[in-house]
Amino acid sequence: MTVQVDYYDLLGVARDAAEDTIRDAHKRQTRIWTKRTASADQSTRQEAETKTSLLRQAFDILLEPSKRQAYDRDLTAGGVAAPAAVQGGGDWLAQARAALGRGDYRSASYAAREATHTAGNSPEAWIIRARANAGLGQLQDAIYEARQATTIAPNNPDFLFQTALIQEQMEQWSDALTSYQAAARLAPNEYIYQIAIGGVYLQHGLADKALEVLEPVHAAHPDVALVAFYLASALLDKAEQTPRVQNSDSYAATSEAEIATMRQLVDRATSLPSDDFDIANRARDILEYLDRMEEMTWQVPGLFGFSSLRAVGIPAAAVVLAFILFSSGAVGVGFLLILAAGGIGFLVYKTCWVPRWKAASQLAR
């Protein structure tokens, strides 16, 4: 049985990719494609809506073990269904738009190439050809074709936007940022270009800079779900960047102030009018982590220079010695030892029965 879409190829991951790898790829691709749903160009919106829908399907199938097993069997046995062929002749540009809108990049590339031959220097044909080749992973061809479009129509912000998207795929981040900024200058009232600028900062882990861009956009468009999605993403990124203890793929909250700041950022993110399930899942995961870090746990790394064994062993030894003294008739001394053991035990309890965040801060020293 054939499958309609190779979800692994869609996400850019191997077929044996771990769940965390799939989650990260889904997050990255969702950020890339969601902003395109607000494009002024209809074929761009259609393509983006198709992609975001497929990304949701990929997330649902590849992160559910039973669904993934069934999908893998079908993919291995039948492969991916071939796309519908384009019709020869006619309006090549219209066919290219239609093919691109349904995500059929091979047909779109073919039709757009024919359109550039028949329509001469049509910037739209060049940009569709660029987008199609980008979808096929032929990025060098795509960036050449995108530059052809922007050379013919240098003041078209959407062509600059499409060029920047390809530059993002090529990880030419500085060039992408420049192209987005140029588009924003040409169309200052189009929030999609500001969102794209914020998205580049998010890709680089620069949540603060992203927030500087996205906060004013949200203030101007408070009810737009797309704006809310990117602002919520930035707030959650900022929350995860708040702890001072950071590793390559994890972090550790080590103070009440960090936890309070993270909760505020997550609460704000979840209050925004975005119904994106990835945002909801990330927010839930962060809050569950913070709840765990506020749970109490035993942590005895040392007590006034003593080892953990000494911190527990001294009061225990005092109690044993007190009972020996009691049995030998030295009641007063035994009683004093019992009091001392109780005091030391209480000190150990107060010092070592701590929230997990405090235990983490002690380990991080």
According to the model, what pLDDT value does residue 300 have? 59
The residue with greater pLDDT, 150 or 276, is 150
DSSP letters of 93-152? HHHHHHHHHTT-HHHHHHHHHHHHHHSSS-HHHHHHHHHHHHHTT-HHHHHHHHHHHHHH
| Res. 139 pLDDT band, cuts 50 70 90 | very high
Superfamily per CATH, domain 7-78:
DnaJ domain (1.10.287.110)
**pLDDT value at position 363?**
54
Query: What does the pLDDT average to over 275-286?
Result: 87
> What is the full DSSP assignment across 264-306?
HHHHHHHHSS---HHHHHHHHHHHHHHHHHTSEEE--S-BTTB
As a dihedral over the C-alpha atoms of residue 177, residue 109, residue 86, residue 81, rounded to 10 degrees, the angle is -80
Residue 118: what pLDDT? 81
Lowest mean pLDDT of 193-207, 249-263, 270-284, 346-360, name the range.
Answer: 346-360
CA–CA gap between residue 216 and residue 233 (Å, rounded): 15
pLDDT of residue 309: 47
pLDDT at 364: 56
- Average pLDDT score over residue span 212-233: 93
Does pLDDT of 313 surpass 60?
no
Of 128 and 81, which is predicted with more confidence? 128
- Start-to-end CA span in the chain (Å): 57
3-state secondary structure of 354: strand
Q: What is the pLDDT of residue 303?
A: 45
Cα dist. 283→108, 262, 265, 355 in Å?
A: 38, 10, 10, 21
Q: Which residue matches tokens 């007063």?
A: 332
pLDDT of residue 228: 92
Every domain of the chain with CATH number 1.10.287.110 lies at: 7-78
Read off the pTM: 0.74
| pLDDT value at 351 more than 80 | no
pLDDT at 166: 94
| Cα 140 from Cα 150, distance rounded (Å) | 16
